[in-house]
Structure 1
Amino acid sequence: MPDYAESLSHLDSYISARVPVISLRTIEQQRALRLLREAASRPKRSGMPFWIHTRATGLRDLRTRASVHEDRSLTGAMEFAASQFAARANATLVLVDPPDTGSDTPAARHIAELARIAEGNMGSLVLVSDSPVWSGLQRLGMGLTLDLPDADEMYGILSNFLTDHRGRFPIEWEEGDARRAAEFLAGATESECVNLMATVAAKGSVKKEDVLALAQAKERIFSNINGLERIPLKDSDYKVGGLTSLRAWLRRRNQLIHADLRSTRLRPPRGVLLVGVPGCGKSLSAKAVAQEWQLPLYRLDMASIHGKYWGESEGNLRAALETADRVAPCVLWIDEIEKGLAGGAGEVTGTGQRVIGHFLFWLQESQSRSFVVATANDVRGLPAELLRKGRFDELFFVDLPDRDDRQEIIELYYRRYLTREPPADELEQLVDLSEGFAGSDIESALHTAGAEALLDGGVEHLSPSFVRDTFANTVPMIRVNPERIEEIRAWGRERAVPAGRSPISSAQGATTPRRILLMGD
């Protein structure tokens, strides 16, 4: 992906070669015009005329910005340019956002005709737009895409901002802080970067903790666009009980996603795939990761990206993933991923294969700090290529909680819904009664107890036996559908790392898992 300097080099060569049509695609119009002015201001081009037309300012000299034609319309500018191209050599006209040039339209053909006039006398047309131009027009010249600022260019923008404001208010940032902030701002435009920094600095100082605040402010630019749903987080709602191994692994990945990786060949953490028994905390883990890491959480519904027209599904997914790259650093939650990436025999259409291919390519190649937390219940629906090492950083199996994990979950929800610590003797009984419960079963039982306590006038009026009776009357999924649960557990026993502290066990007894989690000290 070309940066500003590389784009300038390409543009300079195209102008020197007098290419008749140069299409410059970008969403940053002002940055593109700065690029053009820099190329036009080379000493070797001092005698070459450069004009620019925009709807707001009409036709002006690109270097001096002086008006050169009274008729401010595009038609008037093109008529002026046609006469100039015929009368003089080496003239260049820049058209900013010319309308109706994306397909075979009269406007596009008019510009193509003007390009042929320019070509006859070494003239050039430069089209600046945020969308592709008609292929018939593009074939007359060369195309160039000006990408968003990379981390190094963003660092330069931040450094200039800090230099301009040092002495005006306290600035605690050092080079490392600015480098880290620059990586967080990757995906933003230059103007967005300046606006975000101005917002952070508006309080009268720039502190160390503002690096993370900058990343949080950035995500507000992209909320709920391009198929991504912004999930608001509440501090008290996303605590996870159990899943000890998973939580320890995520703590280490948290350090890596915030680390400066420029001097290494490492890429940011890609994400984690959670498979296992329904109701055991897979979806809750995605929310807990975002809340603990203080990163925005976006939900991508893979099932909703499928459209009815050819190519629509792939386009929807591409737009969503491009947005995820731009909002990074973030947590991208893909719930029940198997519904969007069905992999069973005879289930995948041509569209499904293309969607899978594009998603896997993004997982493999993206360098953004978008940490994916994908969950799946029906492991049989997952395409085999999704499970290959290198797609996700790790594959965890979320099993039914063991005794210690059940105790932790009971304490968590007892405090939440009954607003007190569980008595020791009652806690022991509840742990025994909850054998085979999923985390959602435990939460449901204690929510029922909390609702009953509210109706009775407070937890002190709740019958001592009511919580135990609620647990005793709860029928967990393992008793409702034991065959399906055991099938899921058998799959995870062989293919995934246990998310809890204990190995995955079968109905016949403990089995040593084939995979273990490796972590440093």
Structure 2
Amino acid sequence: MSEGFRAQLAQLLKARVPVLYVESHEEQRVLAEIVATARDSAQVRTPRGVWTWSATEGLVGPDGAARNGTTSPAAVLDVILRLDESCVVVLRDLHPYLGCGGRSGEPGVIRRLRDIAAAFRSGPVPRALVLVSPLLCIPPELDRDVTIVDFPLPAEREIRVVLENLIAANVSSGRIRIDLDGVGRERFAKAAVGLTLHEAENSFARAIVNDGVLDMHDLPVVHEEKRQAVRKAGLLEFVDADIDLADVGGLETLKRWLAKRDGAWLAAAGEYGLPAPRGILITGIPGCGKSLTAKAVAATWELPLLRFDVGRVFAGLVGSSEQNLRTAIRTAEATSPCVLWVDEIEKGFRADAAGDSGTSARVFGTFLTWMQEKTRAVFVIATANNIEGLPSELLRKGRFDEVFFVDLPTRVERRTIWTVHLNRRLRAPAAAGALVVDEPLLTELCALTEGYSGAEIEQAVVSGLFEAFAARRPLVKDDLIRAVANMVPLSVTQAERIGALRDWATTRAVAATAAEDWDSSPGVAVTHTGGGRVVEF
């Protein structure tokens, strides 16, 4: 990253661009890069002294001496205008005087900046003014005079240096133990990408002081630091994922596909020439595990899970939707590697969206372009219930790696789902007459719930437990049978819609259920064959 910023800055200095703007919270890091570039004759040909200013220190020259009476912006800008030597002047936190933070801009300051821009552009010696602030604030009057210079957050290798230095400093003292191999250290460094160097160092230090041991169990501490950054952005939600793919009943084809891409964002995958996987679209019948799978992937891959509510993009002031989407994308990329979960994507990006002066189309176009061209390790999992509302552009290859269809669970999958939910909720010790989860029980329950979704099976377990709780007795089989009998499943209430979904998926999506899990045992009537193309991963 440093080389890219230095090269761009050197080019702008040699071109005598008069006023530059760097948006960054890492003030000291930016200043160090500016000093290194301005003093390097190989990059700028004419080395320049670097002056700095802040409202607390005033103007400080290259010799380290502060100039009296220069703490106010108006005073320092007058002094800068009279500088007649080759120099770079760095003004820190001038944005409040330009109209940021709820304040109105000071006309005198803005006018003086325009004067400096004109003087520096045509003066006899090379001079440049650099504004460094955590907020980007450029008044309309300065739009044509100011050039924005991107200063990205630290790259993985820079964070790796911080991690290694912290480990070396503490291991030598004998106070901690490190239980990380090369891959583990790479995962820690990648997990901290998107943080400033100070934030990354703080998260590593917190992980160490937890128990005096630094190992893979401390990775959530780094994710917690990222949670803070995501919350401040406001458009994404950091979701706790406390399940893994083993807790998802069935969907074996989908799970095998995901298992083969675990760790695909690491350097080892790059050595194979592999790019980071883009993402998947999971469509199908409501209540059959689409959202659960998104949570399980993040937990299994040990990555942060960000939930993207497209509705938030369109909230707020008129004209802010495009900016909101760009902010959400930047936040996700800064948090990479991560899983970005776009739940019910059809409600945000509809093929028939109209009546909003083209805002939806522009936002959708920006999202599609990002999906096509993104290079950061942001794995997108989009879920959809109503595929008819999805624009065709979203479904073509290149946006998502694969489109999966999740159908009602098969007999094999229902057995797994019943087992998962019963074992999860039956926590009390076995008592006289209490339910015993065995093969005959599971066989009977699977037969009774033909056409039921996973969510409906879970609700049957919960309803049965309420019956038992009301009578203050253990759960028995009749509680579950009664709960199933009292429930009308989606396969009955929405039979036509489910049939249409299956017809659509036959040629457009891959079946998430493995072929061997379909109800095709000898002597058993095949009442469900699933939707989607049958493939093996």
TM-score relative to the length of structure 2? 0.85
SS in structure 2 at match of 1:95: strand
SS in structure 2 at match of 1:202: helix
The aligned counterpart of 1:156 is 161
SS in structure 1 at match of 2:247: coil
Inter-partner Cα distance in structure 2 for 1:261 and 1:66: 52
How big is each residue's C-alpha offset from its partner over 1:58-89, in whole Å with a ceiling of 9 and x where there is no partner?
Answer: 1112x443212233212221122223x3xx33
The aligned counterpart of 1:470 is 483
The aligned counterpart of 2:113 is 111
| Contact 1:242 1:500 (C-alpha < 8 Å) held by counterparts | yes
Q: Does 1:96 align with 2:85?
A: no
User: What is the aligned counterpart of 2:495 among 475, 482, 501?
Assistant: 482
| Contact 1:173 1:206 (C-alpha < 8 Å) held by counterparts | no
Inter-partner Cα distance in structure 2 for 1:12 and 1:94: 15
SS in structure 1 at match of 2:287: coil
Listed as ranges, the matches of 1:338-357 within 5 Å are 338-344=346-352, 350-357=358-365
Q: 1:379 to 1:164 in 2, by over 3 A?
A: same
Listed as ranges, the matches of 1:367-386 within 5 Å are 367-386=375-394
Inter-partner Cα distance in structure 1 for 2:471 and 2:79: 85
| Contact 2:405 2:532 (C-alpha < 8 Å) held by counterparts | no
Inter-partner Cα distance in structure 1 for 2:353 and 2:92: 50
Moved more, 160-169 or 314-323: 160-169
The aligned counterpart of 1:280 is 288
Inter-partner Cα distance in structure 1 for 2:409 and 2:159: 46
The aligned counterpart of 1:435 is 450
Inter-partner Cα distance in structure 1 for 2:423 and 2:511: 27
How big is each residue's C-alpha offset from its partner over 1:158-213, in whole Å with a ceiling of 9 and x where there is no partner?
Answer: 34444444412444445544434333322222222222222223357564426734
Inter-partner Cα distance in structure 1 for 2:420 and 2:211: 41
Report the residue type matching 1:402 in the other structure: T
| Contact 2:263 2:301 (C-alpha < 8 Å) held by counterparts | no
Inter-partner Cα distance in structure 1 for 2:400 and 2:76: 53
| Contact 1:177 1:211 (C-alpha < 8 Å) held by counterparts | no
The aligned counterpart of 1:228 is 236
Listed as ranges, the matches of 1:484-499 within 5 Å are 484-499=497-512
Inter-partner Cα distance in structure 1 for 2:267 and 2:17: 44
The aligned counterpart of 2:123 is 120
Cα shift at 1:512:
9.1
Inter-partner Cα distance in structure 1 for 2:386 and 2:227: 34
Moved more, 473-482 or 129-138: 129-138
Q: Does 1:21 align with 2:6?
A: no
Report the residue type matching 2:308 in the other structure: L
SS in structure 1 at match of 2:286: coil
Cα shift at 1:235:
5.0
Cα shift at 1:390:
2.0
How big is each residue's C-alpha offset from its partner over 1:90-118, in whole Å with a ceiling of 9 and x where there is no partner?
Answer: 24322112134479862322211123234
Inter-partner Cα distance in structure 1 for 2:158 and 2:355: 46
Inter-partner Cα distance in structure 2 for 1:346 and 1:49: 56
Q: Does 1:452 align with 2:452?
A: no
The aligned counterpart of 2:60 is 60
The aligned counterpart of 1:36 is 34
How big is each residue's C-alpha offset from its partner over 1:102-157, in whole Å with a ceiling of 9 and x where there is no partner?
Answer: 79862322211123234434232222234153465353464421111222333334
The percentage of aligned residue pairs carrying the same residue is 34
Moved more, 321-330 or 449-458: 321-330
Cα shift at 1:482:
1.1
| Contact 1:180 1:211 (C-alpha < 8 Å) held by counterparts | no
Inter-partner Cα distance in structure 2 for 1:66 and 1:188: 33
| Contact 1:438 1:476 (C-alpha < 8 Å) held by counterparts | yes
Inter-partner Cα distance in structure 2 for 1:267 and 1:348: 37
Q: 1:421 to 1:359 in 2, by over 3 A?
A: farther
How big is each residue's C-alpha offset from its partner over 1:457-481, in whole Å with a ceiling of 9 and x where there is no partner?
Answer: 2216x4x433223222321111112
The aligned counterpart of 2:302 is 294
Cα shift at 1:253:
2.1
How big is each residue's C-alpha offset from its partner over 1:229-287, in whole Å with a ceiling of 9 and x where there is no partner?
Answer: 22234459992212222222222222324564443542222222110011111112222
SS in structure 2 at match of 1:23: strand
Cα shift at 1:386:
1.0
TM-score relative to the length of structure 1? 0.88
| Contact 1:151 1:186 (C-alpha < 8 Å) held by counterparts | yes
Q: Does 1:181 align with 2:184?
A: no
Inter-partner Cα distance in structure 1 for 2:75 and 2:354: 59
Inter-partner Cα distance in structure 2 for 1:275 and 1:296: 22
Report the residue type matching 1:249 in the other structure: W
SS in structure 1 at match of 2:383: strand
Cα shift at 1:400:
0.5
Q: State the superposition RMSD in angstroms.
A: 3.1
Q: 1:424 to 1:176 in 2, by over 3 A?
A: closer
Inter-partner Cα distance in structure 2 for 1:14 and 1:321: 28
SS in structure 2 at match of 1:317: helix
Q: Does 1:192 align with 2:199?
A: yes
The aligned counterpart of 1:216 is 223
Inter-partner Cα distance in structure 1 for 2:206 and 2:136: 30
| Contact 2:419 2:437 (C-alpha < 8 Å) held by counterparts | yes
| Contact 2:244 2:300 (C-alpha < 8 Å) held by counterparts | no
User: What is the aligned counterpart of 1:11 among 9, 12, 19?
Assistant: 9
How big is each residue's C-alpha offset from its partner over 1:352-381, in whole Å with a ceiling of 9 and x where there is no partner?
Answer: 111111111222222333222211000001
SS in structure 1 at match of 2:66: coil
The aligned counterpart of 2:522 is none
The aligned counterpart of 2:430 is none
SS in structure 2 at match of 1:219: helix
Inter-partner Cα distance in structure 2 for 1:370 and 1:512: 30
Cα shift at 1:50:
3.0
The aligned counterpart of 1:144 is 149
Report the residue type matching 1:444 in the other structure: Q
SS in structure 2 at match of 1:253: coil
SS in structure 2 at match of 1:229: strand
Inter-partner Cα distance in structure 1 for 2:275 and 2:327: 22
Q: 1:72 to 1:296 in 2, by over 3 A?
A: same
Inter-partner Cα distance in structure 1 for 2:180 and 2:139: 47
How many residues align structurally? 510
Moved more, 127-136 or 446-455: 127-136
| Contact 1:277 1:485 (C-alpha < 8 Å) held by counterparts | yes
SS in structure 2 at match of 1:125: strand
Inter-partner Cα distance in structure 2 for 1:90 and 1:348: 52
Report the residue type matching 2:89 in the other structure: L
Inter-partner Cα distance in structure 2 for 1:116 and 1:156: 42
Inter-partner Cα distance in structure 2 for 1:300 and 1:512: 29
Cα shift at 1:403:
0.8
SS in structure 2 at match of 1:220: helix
